[in-house]
Chain A
Amino acid sequence: MPKHVVTANRLIDGAVVYLTDCGGWSERIQDAIVADGKEADAALTAAADRAVADCIVVAPYLIDVDTAADSSVLRALRYRERIRSDGPSIHPEFAKNLKG
């Protein structure tokens, strides 16, 4: 069973963001809080729904992440989500994970 993180787009500018462990939203998937199991998924989803109601993000959803190889590195499992987290493959300079 893969672990999950919550992603969404920030309302004001559309940027791809991830729910963090302090309840904020980061543009870096590395900052995301990871849910392991149904209860944790539900808690993250509820937090994301509150952020939708507060006009912080739109369209949140859970994505599968791979932490098996190195628990300090978060990587989306689906290719689509890797493009979202890393930026367009044709514009590596836009990769958010290069920052910081």
Chain B
Amino acid sequence: MYRYDEFDHAFVRQRVDQFRDQVSRRLSGELSEDEFKPLRLMNGLYLQLHAYMLRVAIPYGTLSSRQMRCLAHIARTYDKDYGHFTTRQNIQYNWPALKDVPDILMDLAAVEMHALQTSGNCIRNVTADQYAGAAADEIEDPRVWCEIIRQWSSLHPEFSFLPRKFKIAVTGAPNDRAAVAVHDIGLRMVRNEAGEVGFQVLVGGGQGRTPVIGSMIRAFLPKRYLLSYLEAILRVYNLLGRRDNIFKARIKILVQQVGAQVFADMVEDEWQHLKDGPVELPDGELERIQAYFAPPSFEPLPTLHAGFVEAKDRDPAFAAWARSNLADHREPGYAIVNLSLKPVGGVPGDATSAQMDTVADLADRFSLGEIRVSHEQNLILPHVRQKDLHSLWQELTAVGFATANIGLISDIIACPGLDYCSLANARSIPIAQQISTRFAELDRMHDIGELKVKISGCINACGHHHVGHIGILGVDKKGEEFYQITLGGDATETAELGRLVGPALPYDKVADAVETLVDTYLEHRQGGERFLDTYRRVGLQPFKEKLYATH
């Protein structure tokens, strides 16, 4: 894992000291709320519906057990004993007191964490494939480049006041688990015909009120040019992005207005001025950062552990969990383990301090001390020996993280919604709870197969509803909560935006509607089709007819 150097430590502590002074001046009245607001936002502190909310960065979704224990400590000491893992691979605390936030930030700094770049019109905390450094299908570890982008962007004076927030996601694998096509910049590590590794560059993707799938503006960018090329994109955006209208300020609007090819040409022109200039990584820097992400010392193990196979044969519940919650590891004899933060009827993404502490202990005992956070709001133990899987599963069952539902209908993404968020129009979490309770039966869930339900409480789309196989968007109709349903969204390498099925439904009809959609899929399913495959084959109409015939 990346370890702070002297500069990082000094920089983060300096920012904490600055914020402590700013909070003190706010409490004394020296700073007004208008003066203070941009300062607190630069430190990840929002004022939400019920209280302040602190959004802590988890760079590229990677945590050590020590850092997880600190997150538990913060929940226990300063908040209501829980935290919420988000679709940006961050954690949010919903109840911190303003007076305590400098102490929280100092505690975070002690474990090399912070809340920088989690708010404001800057380059936000870079996200990545949660299986980075472990996945069997990975070309290279994307976290190396996420860290390089972080170091380049954190104090970049040119990009600290962009027209709007700016999100970058990186995947090192062809199977896109980082939703890169719906980011301002999406980077996919690819090989060219010569076998060299570089980046395919997508730009202008995003969700919100104007959802767009990113356009590929470069099929192959040699790795050494990443920073100069990113700087060229950001420079074009910074110059031409609209600052007069918040709803048209994202780079996706600019790319749509000028056209992807024209935008690509502008970037190319700008890049010619920057290429091979001072922004490129100095000799040795890539190697220095790569060294932090050197693979841990894996034991030489057989590809398949006989005890793991036997345990699956004798224990159907373990077999079901292994089928849905494990992913292939690149090292023989190891597995990637997904911990579901979506228990039946639970709050997607929430974890108590006791659960966080337990995960930290399990990471130390079973996963070389490493933990990951996914944008789908689950936790991951990335390096588990197959021979330990049954024991680990038993312990996860005891702590409530062994629901065998990863990628299934109850593994729902849900934004905080109107229960917490001052922007929301409707609640998201109770809808997720209703659906996961409705489909609680494990055999039924596994029979339905992969089905991604994503729920947002407003058009800002933090719950990624645009790219849900079933997307649910809360809207306000004369003070009442209603929900629009979209179908066919996809956040992966075959990214698509969902299509609206029809008029919005009231709060108490949403779970019924999802059941109708699932029944329609099962009626039309052929062979081993997933929900998305069937939808793509038969189209929207059969679903629409069934939904509005019964509701």
Given contact pairs A11-B26, A14-B97, A83-B419, A89 touches B51 in the complex (Cβ within 8 A): no
Residue contact B47 to A59, C-beta cutoff 8 Å: yes
Residue among B27, B433, B479 making CB contact with A11, cutoff 8 Å:
B27
Given contact pairs A90-B347, A90-B430, A13 touches B51 in the complex (Cβ within 8 A): yes
Chain A proximity of B26: nearest CB distance (Å):
7
Chain A proximity of B257: nearest CB distance (Å):
34
Q: Tally chain A residues at the interface, Cβ within 8 Å.
A: 25
Residue interface mask A48-70, B partner, CB < 8 A = 1: 00001111001100000000000
Assembled-state Cα–Cα distance A16/B430 (Å): 22
Which residues of chain A are within 8 angstroms of B519 by Cβ–Cβ distance? none
A14-B48, A52-B33, A54-B29 given; name 7 further pairs at CB < 8 Å.
A11-B26, A12-B27, A13-B51, A55-B28, A77-B479, A88-B420, A94-B80
Residue interface mask B83-125, A partner, CB < 8 A = 1: 0000000000001111100000000000000000000000000
Assembled-state Cα–Cα distance A88/B418 (Å): 8
Residue contact A90 to B433, C-beta cutoff 8 Å: yes
Chain A residue at minimum C-beta to C-beta distance from B433: A90
26 contacts between A and B (CB under 8 A): A11-B26, A12-B27, A12-B98, A13-B51, A14-B95, A14-B97, A15-B50, A16-B49, A55-B28, A55-B29, A59-B33, A59-B47, A78-B479, A79-B479, A80-B418, A83-B49, A83-B418, A83-B419, A83-B427, A84-B49, A88-B50, A88-B419, A88-B420, A89-B430, A90-B429, A91-B419
Residue contact B26 to A14, C-beta cutoff 8 Å: no
Assembled-state Cα–Cα distance A11/B427 (Å): 26
Assembled-state Cα–Cα distance A89/B429 (Å): 9
Residue interface mask A74-87, B partner, CB < 8 A = 1: 00011110011001
Assembled-state Cα–Cα distance A83/B420 (Å): 9
Chain B proximity of A77: nearest CB distance (Å):
8
Which residues of chain A are within 8 angstroms of B480 by Cβ–Cβ distance? 79
Chain A residue at minimum C-beta to C-beta distance from B96: A14
Assembled-state Cα–Cα distance A12/B23 (Å): 9
Q: Tally chain B residues at the interface, Cβ within 8 Å.
A: 28
Chain B proximity of A31: nearest CB distance (Å):
17
Assembled-state Cα–Cα distance A54/B33 (Å): 12
Residue contact A89 to B419, C-beta cutoff 8 Å: yes
Does A9 have its Cβ within 8 Å of any Cβ on chain B? yes
Which residues of chain B are within 8 angstroms of A13 by Cβ–Cβ distance? 51-52, 97-99
Does B361 have its Cβ within 8 Å of any Cβ on chain A? no
Which residues of chain B are within 8 angstroms of A80 by Cβ–Cβ distance? 49, 418
Which residues of chain A are within 8 angstroms of B418 by Cβ–Cβ distance? 79-80, 83
Counting from the closest, the 7 A-B pairs by CB-CB distance are A13-B97, A14-B51, A88-B419, A14-B52, A55-B29, A58-B33, A90-B429
Chain B proximity of A60: nearest CB distance (Å):
11
Assembled-state Cα–Cα distance A12/B480 (Å): 32
Residue contact A84 to B50, C-beta cutoff 8 Å: yes
Main secondary structure of the interface of A (DSSP, over half): loop
Within 8 A of A (CB), among B32-58: 33, 47-52
Which residues of chain B are within 8 angstroms of A52 by Cβ–Cβ distance? 33
Interface centre among A12, A54, A87 (most CB of B within 10 A): A12
Assembled-state Cα–Cα distance A83/B49 (Å): 8
Residue interface mask B393-428, A partner, CB < 8 A = 1: 000000000000000000000000011100000010
Residue contact A11 to B98, C-beta cutoff 8 Å: yes
Chain A residue at minimum C-beta to C-beta distance from B37: A58
Residue interface mask B428-445, A partner, CB < 8 A = 1: 011001000000000000
Chain B proximity of A70: nearest CB distance (Å):
21
Which residues of chain A are within 8 angstroms of B28 by Cβ–Cβ distance? 55
Assembled-state Cα–Cα distance A94/B479 (Å): 23
Does B481 have its Cβ within 8 Å of any Cβ on chain A? yes
Chain A residue at minimum C-beta to C-beta distance from B29: A55
Chain B proximity of A76: nearest CB distance (Å):
11
Assembled-state Cα–Cα distance A15/B96 (Å): 10
Assembled-state Cα–Cα distance A55/B33 (Å): 9
Residue among B51, B420, B479 making CB contact with A15, cutoff 8 Å:
B51
Chain B proximity of A67: nearest CB distance (Å):
18
Which residues of chain B are within 8 angstroms of A12 by Cβ–Cβ distance? 27, 97-99
Chain A proximity of B423: nearest CB distance (Å):
11
Which residues of chain A are within 8 angstroms of B47 by Cβ–Cβ distance? 9, 14, 58-59
Assembled-state Cα–Cα distance A84/B51 (Å): 10
Chain A residue at minimum C-beta to C-beta distance from B481: A79
Assembled-state Cα–Cα distance A14/B80 (Å): 14
Assembled-state Cα–Cα distance A98/B33 (Å): 31
Which residues of chain A are within 8 angstroms of B99 by Cβ–Cβ distance? 12-13
Chain A residue at minimum C-beta to C-beta distance from B98: A12
Which residues of chain A are within 8 angstroms of B98 by Cβ–Cβ distance? 11-14
Within 8 A of A (CB), among B303-360: 347
Assembled-state Cα–Cα distance A16/B418 (Å): 15
Chain A proximity of B344: nearest CB distance (Å):
14
Interface centre among B50, B51, B430 (most CB of A within 10 A): B50
Which residues of chain B are within 8 angstroms of A91 by Cβ–Cβ distance? 419
Given contact pairs A11-B27, A88-B420, A89-B427, A16 touches B50 in the complex (Cβ within 8 A): yes
